[in-house]
Structure formats: C-alpha cells, structure tokens
Amino acid sequence: MNIVVCVKQVPDTATERKLRSDDKTLDRDAADGVVNELDEYAVEEALKLKEAHGGEVTVLTMGPGKATETIRKALAMGADKAVHLSDDALHGSDALSTSYAMAQTLKKIGFDLVILGSESTDARTGVLAAMLAERLGAAQLTLANKVDVEGSSISIQRLTDYGYDKVEATLPAVVSVVEKINEPRYPSFKGIMAAKKKPVETLSVGDASIDAAQVGLGAAWSEVVDFAAAPPRAAGTIVKDEGDGGVKAAEFLASKKFI
Amino acid sequence: MSEILVLVEQVDGEVKKVTLELLTLARSLGTPSAVWAGPGFGADAKAKLAEYGAEKIYVAGSADVVDHVVAPKAELLAQLVGSAAPAAVLVAATAEGKEVAGRLAVKTDSGVITDAVGVGEGFVADQSIFGGGVNVHSRVTKGTPIIAVRPNSTAPAPAPAAGAEEEVSVALSDAAKASKIVERVKQEKGARPELTEAAIVVSGGRGVGSAENFSIIEGLADVLGAAVGASRAATDAGWYPHQFQVGQTGKTVSPQLYIAAGISGAIQHRAGMQTAKTIVAINKDPEAPIFELADFGVVGDLHQIVPQLADEVSKRK
Ligand SMILES: Cc1cc2nc3c(=O)[nH]c(=O)nc-3n(C[C@H](O)[C@H](O)[C@H](O)COP(=O)(O)OP(=O)(O)OC[C@H]3O[C@@H](n4cnc5c(N)ncnc54)[C@H](O)[C@@H]3O)c2cc1C
Ligand SMILES: Cc1cc2nc3c(=O)[nH]c(=O)nc-3n(C[C@H](O)[C@H](O)[C@H](O)COP(=O)(O)OP(=O)(O)OC[C@H]3O[C@@H](n4cnc5c(N)ncnc54)[C@H](O)[C@@H]3O)c2cc1C
C-alpha cells in the first residue's frame, strides 16, 4: 500500500505566535517550528498500517525551507521518504490554494491512502482533509479514532457528537486522525541516524504541475483585513480554600448573576 | 434583501440552538433561508425555523444525504448556491460543519472562513486566533462567502418569517457516496445541555481522580443547568466519554461561564475554552497555568470545594 502522510510545520504553541505586520500572514520566523502534534499521530498510523499490510510511507510537507527539520522528524519515526513542496510562490496560500497545491502534488506522486491530522495548531481550519478528498475524488474518512484496512476495503470509526459512526469505503481514501487513535513512537537514535540518509525530493510549483496563478497570497480566496492583539484578560481574584472555598466561589457566581 | 443560506443542525428532527443563532446572525446580513439535510423534517422544526426568521426552508429529505460522510451536504449546498445565488452560506463551526464548508468552497470555487465568532457588514468575519491572543477581521474575496460560525457567537432572538417550504432533490454523484455510514453508535448523552451549546460548562480533569468522582462534577453541573466537559487526561483515563473532551482535539466551547476543576490548563485544553466569557478554576496547585486565565480561582481540594459550591448554589436558588 502506498501511503502518503501530510505533515505540517507549525510554530511551537509554547512560544508567542504572531502575524506579520507587512502582509498579515503567519510570522514563521518569530517562533520555533515544530511538527503539528496531530501529524505525529498520522505518521504513527501510517507506520502501523505499513507494518500490518506492507507498502511504503511517504511524508508530504508543503512549507518553506526550514520545514526540512519537520520532515526529518517524521523520517526518524520510520517513514521511508519525503516530498517537500517548497516554493516562494506558495507563501500566503489559504486553504483553497493549499489544498489545490497538495492535491496536484498527490496526483503526481500517486497514493492509495492519504493520512492527515484532523487539525493544525496554528490555523486550525480543520478543512484540509475534506478539501483533498473533494479535489482527488477519493473517499473522505475523517476524524478517525480507528482505521482498518483489508485488501482494498477500508473502514474507520468517525467521532461524532453522539459517539461515533462506522464508515466504510474503498481505496483510494483520505483519512484524518484524532489523538485517540494511537500513541506516536519516539524516534530512536538509530531512526534519527537513518533519517539523514533517506531521500527527500524537493518540488517547486512547476515540478508538481501547480498553476502559480492559483496559489500564494495574491491568489487567495480570502484575506485578512486587519488584526490586533487581544486585550489581555484582567487578572482574576485567586483565593486559598480555608474551608469556605465553595462558598466564596458561589459568592463570585452570584456577583456575576450566574445564580 | 439578498438570500443567506443557513445549513440546519438538528438531532432527531429537533433544531439545535446554533442554527437559531445563525438565523439571527443571517437576519442582520440579508434574508435567511434554512437548508434541511436528510429525513426527519416536521412541523416543529418548520415552526422553529420560521420563528427565528427563515423566509424559506429548503428540504432535501432523502436519507442518502446523511448516510454518507459530509460530501452529500456539500453537494446539496452547491446545488442551491447555483440555483439561488445566495449572498453567503453560513454553517456551524463544528468539526463536521467545517468539513462541509471546505468541500463546498472547492465545489463552488469560493473562499471559506472558519471559526468566525461574528460576521458584520460586507461579510467581514471576526476570528479569534492563537488561543485567543489575536483578533482578526477577515473576508472572502472570491466566489460566495462561506463562513463557519462558532456556536454561542450570537444570542438567538425570534423574528417570525414565512418559513415557506421548498422540496429539493439532489442527484448525488458517485464521489459523494464514496464513504458510507454503516452504523451510528450512540453513547449515553443524558439530559444535560449539549457541550458546545451550553451557557455554562463544568469540566473535570485528572484531579477528579476517578470515573465515580465525576459525579461531583455532574452534581455541580446539574444545579447550574450546565453541560459537563472533561480534559484529555480524564477522557484518556476512561473516566468520561471522549465526546465530552474540551480542547484542541475535542470540542471548542465559548460559554458564558466555564468552571475548570482539577485541570492544569495545558495549551491544548485552553485552545478549546479560552473564549469563554467568565472562567472559574479550582485547583490545588497555586502555580497551575489555568489560574492565569481565571476570573476567579480557588486554590484547594476540589473534592471539598466543588460539593460545597453545589450546595451553596442550590441554597441560593
Ligand atoms: C490563524 C490563521 C487562520 C487562518 N484562517 C483561514 C481561513 O479562515 N480560511 C482559509 O482559507 N485559510 C485560512 N488560513 C490559511 C491556512 O493556514 C492555510 O490554508 C493552511 O495551509 C491550511 O490550513 P490548516 O493548517 O488550518 O489545515 P487543517 O485542515 O487544520 O490541517 C489538517 C491537516 O492537514 C495537513 N496539512 C495542513 N497544511 C499542511 C502543509 N502545509 N503541509 C503538509 N500537510 C499539511 C496536516 O496533516 C494537518 O494536520 C489561516 C491561517 C492562519 C495562520
Ligand atoms: C495532539 C494533542 C492533542 C491534545 N488535545 C487535548 C484536548 O483536546 N483537550 C485537553 O484537555 N487536552 C488535550 N491534550 C492534552 C494536554 O496536553 C494535557 O495533557 C491535558 O489537558 C491535561 O489534562 P488535565 O489538566 O486534566 O491533567 P493534568 O495536567 O495532570 O492536571 C491535573 C490538575 O489537577 C490538579 N489536581 C489534582 N488533584 C486535585 C484535587 N484533589 N483538587 C484540585 N486540583 C487537583 C493538579 O494540580 C493539576 O493542575 C492534547 C495533547 C496532545 C499532544
């Protein structure tokens, strides 16, 4: 099975994240880049499926040059190779252009199964997997906390408000995972060393047959009009429980008319 | 006035509160039309949608629309975008709502804004990003604006309209039927308000200590008429079902009041509750990051404080 797992580099949530004042896009230099947490779960699931069914796991990352750090991490976990879609023309792409660029790349490199995280920690749009399924005409199997493959049949448990749905489809498919699905492995020392030698193919927009007029800030289907730092939350009142903590909390709720 | 499509969220034929919020919001932008996907449309739903301002109600009652994952709803909306040429489409910013919005955007070659907490003139959306640290105004610049709006962004207010019903039949493509839902597994929900819709949420974390002890959290929730939430530590431990998880990979909630008991306030948890209007934290560790967000905090043992708070609330009622 040919599995492609989409891994995004995002700013570390532990550092202060900002938008750039010049073009209102994410300030990627202001914070350390890390693997989007959920994408480690996506990689883990890809590796498990490979271990069970054979095949190959390819990492796909769209992002600037420094995203190679992220790619190495995924390779160190055990992925076989990577494709890095990297081109200045892609800077400022919105969800529409990102999904277009990634779909073009996926068509070029081929796949039976594409696995993503269900959401990134920076933009958090949660739309990419659905958009890829739409663009690729592949089955959408998203928000999965369990994936089973048998031959060309695939089924998942899709998390819902009331519990979960059992969903069935035939490959090719686009899966997105939630963090309940597995426990990502840590890269071993051996894995880290091996990752340095694994092939990473860097593709430009042209290499992946992406129409440059459909990507980047200029082509975006949406725009940031303006932005501002949110006013800091006023410091709250913190009391130590002296046996009357519940009563004090009730007084606070009453003062705010909740009771 | 121009037509605004609102995709209806419903459970067993009952319209959810977020839809009434979206209709209320849509009235400030144009003339709302509700879009009903799937079987179960009845007189109660019709009355409710009309009461909150739906001038038209498009009903696509075929089971096919809901028996496949997401794609049929996007196909239905795309068909209506084609025939009615609405000024915008509003959906609820739930995990599934956002997926519908995403596919619809691709189908109609339109821009999409997710997680709006408000929408104003010119369909300029308010987004709160980076865990509430930055407020953004954004807008769609190509196609029909498709906006996923967070629950609890608008106070629903009635304003009766015609609610004229219009049957819609969609010819689903094979691609839209690629992922078949073969079983729906419902886990106990109980009589409490739904997490994303509730005005008050009481959440418990690792500090609660066990599944049995979640009855303390439920006890407080019930006297407040609140929903119960949980941190990932609590759902992973199996103390509370996963669909009650609040946070990055759980539900995003924006209630009037959020009470966190025995929750440290990890960034992934904060991502799901930071936009609550008022936050109360109960934690035995005075250094817990949750106190940075709290409007009111009590440092101490939740097993003492939460039951006392529940008692005091019932006394004052
Ligand atoms: C704060 C903020 C808000 C934004 N809001 C909007 C908006 O409302 N509308 C809009 O059109 N655009 C928006 N964008 C732009 C958006 O970030 C990009 O379009 C992005 O590439 C896709 O969005 P996402 O990361 O939210 O994807 P999600 O759908 O949240 O990501 C899901 C998964 O997709 C995969 N993935 C995502 N990006 C990549 C990548 N570059 N390489 C490899 N895999 C990837 C990963 O597996 C990830 O787990 C916003 C950007 C920011 C910074
Ligand atoms: C990909 C990914 C996604 C995630 N998504 C989510 C998510 O959606 N939601 C989420 O919540 N987390 C999520 N997490 C996990 C998150 O990082 C934290 O691990 C989690 O929120 C911790 O839960 P907690 O606060 O209950 O537990 P802890 O961090 O262990 O905190 C327990 C707190 O309880 C206090 N306490 C203990 N006993 C008592 C007592 N008797 N009385 C009062 N206080 C007491 C302690 O002082 C402590 O502050 C995610 C993590 C990852 C990697």
CB-CB under 8 Å, B180 with A167: yes
B114: tokens are: 């997710």
Give the model's pLDDT for residue B64.
Answer: 95
Q: What is the ipTM of this complex?
A: 0.95
Quote the minimal CA–CA distance from B167 to chain A in Å. 26
Could you state, in order of their start, the residue ranges of all structural domains in chain B? 3-167, 195-315
Q: Name the pLDDT band for A109 (thresholds 50, 70, 90).
A: very high
Average pLDDT over residues B32-53: 98
Q: Does A135 touch chain B (CB under 8 A)?
A: yes
What CA–CA distance (Å, rounded) separates B126 from A224? 10
Tell whether the model's pLDDT for residue B1 goes beyond 80.
no
Q: Each residue of B100-142: pLDDT tens digit?
A: 999 999 999 999 999 999 999 999 999 999 888 899 999 999 9
Tell whether the model's pLDDT for residue A15 goes beyond 90.
no
Question: What CATH architecture does domain B3-167 belong to?
Answer: 3-Layer(aba) Sandwich (3.40)
Whole-number Å distance, alpha carbon A40 to ligand 2 midpoint, is 20
Q: Does A252 touch chain B (CB under 8 A)?
A: yes
User: Please, which residues have CB within 8 angstroms of residue B43's CB and are 6 or more apart in sequence?
Assistant: none
Average pLDDT over residues B71-91: 98
> Residue B269, annotated ligand binder?
yes
Residue B91's nearest CA partner among B1, B151, B160 is: B151
Residues in chain B: 317
CATH number of B195-315: 3.40.50.1220
Give the model's pLDDT for residue B189.
Answer: 63
Give the model's pLDDT for residue A193.
Answer: 96
> What is the residue type of B108?
T
Residue B45 CB-half CA count within 13 A: 24
| Per-position b or e across A192-230, b if 16+ CB within 10 A of its CB | eeebeebeeeebebeebebeeebbbbebbbbbbeebeeb
Task: Please report the residues numbered 54 through 113 in chain A whose beta carbons come closer than 8 angstroms to any beta carbon of chain B.
Answer: 94-96, 99
**CB of A87 closer than 6 angstroms to any ligand 1 atom:** no
Between A235 and A126, name the one with better pLDDT.
A126
**CB of B231 closer than 6 angstroms to any ligand 2 atom:** yes
Q: Each residue of B137-157: pLDDT tens digit?
A: 999 999 999 999 999 999 999
CB-CB under 8 Å, B98 with A169: no
**CB of A128 closer than 6 angstroms to any ligand 1 atom:** yes
Whole-number Å distance, alpha carbon A71 to ligand 2 midpoint, is 29
Q: Which residues of A are less than 8 Å from B268 in CB distance?
A: 13, 37
B96: tokens are: 């599934």
Residue nearest atom 17 in ligand 1 by C-alpha distance: A123
Whole-number Å distance, alpha carbon A128 to ligand 1 midpoint, is 7
User: Please, which residues have CB within 8 angstroms of residue B227's CB and are 6 or more apart in sequence?
Assistant: B192, B193, B194, B195, B197, B198, B200, B201, B202, B221, B255
- Give the position, in ligand 2's atom list, of the atom nearest the Cα of B264: 49
Residues in chain A: 259
Average pLDDT over residues A191-201: 97
Q: Each residue of A168-194: pLDDT tens digit?
A: 999 999 999 999 999 999 999 999 999
Give the model's pLDDT for residue A161.
Answer: 86
Tell whether the model's pLDDT for residue A81 goes beyond 80.
yes
Do the domains B195-315 and B3-167 match in fold?
yes
CB-CB under 8 Å, B181 with A166: yes
Average pLDDT over residues B6-31: 97
Of B142, B242, B267, the CB nearest to A159: B242
Q: Does A215 touch chain B (CB under 8 A)?
A: no
Average pLDDT over residues B286-293: 96
User: 3-state SS string over chain B?
Assistant: CCEEEEECCEECCEECHHHHHHHHHHHCCCEEEEEEECCCCCHHHHHHHHHCCCCEEEEECCHHHCCECCHHHHHHHHHHHHHHCCCEEEEECCHHHHHHHHHHHHHHCCCEEEEEEEECHHHCEEEEECCCCEEEEEEECCCCCEEEECCCCCCCCCCCCCCEEEECCCCCCCHHHCCEEEEEEECCCCCCCCCCCCCEEEEECHHHCCCCCHHHHHHHHHHHCCEEEECHHHHHCCCCCHHHEECCCCECCCCCEEEEECCCCCHHHHCCCCCCCEEEEEECCCCCCHHHHCCEEEECCHHHHHHHHHHHHHHHC
> What is the residue type of B60?
A
Give the model's pLDDT for residue A100.
Answer: 98
Tell whether the model's pLDDT for residue A97 goes beyond 80.
yes
3 state DSSP class of A237: strand
- Give the position, in ligand 1's atom list, of the atom nearest the Cα of A120: 30
Q: Best mutation site among A9, A61, A69, A120 for ligand 1, i.e. most ligand atoms within 8 A of its Cβ?
A: A120
Give the model's pLDDT for residue B219.
Answer: 97
> What is the residue type of A208?
A
| Burial class (CB within 10 angstroms; exposed 0-12, middle 13-18, buried 19+) of A151 | exposed
Tally C-beta pairs within 8 A across A and B: 289
Average pLDDT over residues B292-314: 97
* Residue % of chain A over a pLDDT of 70: 100
CATH number of A2-225: 3.40.50.620
Of A14, A119, A166, the CB nearest to B249: A119
> What is the residue type of B236?
D
Give the model's pLDDT for residue B139.
Answer: 97
Q: Does A255 touch chain B (CB under 8 A)?
A: no
CB-CB under 8 Å, B74 with A162: no
Tell whether the model's pLDDT for residue B188 goes beyond 80.
no
* Residue % of chain B over a pLDDT of 70: 99
Whether A202 contacts B261, CB under 8 Å: no
Could you state, in order of their start, the residue ranges of all structural domains in chain A? 2-225
Average pLDDT over residues A237-248: 97
Q: Does A26 touch chain B (CB under 8 A)?
A: no
pTM equals 0.94
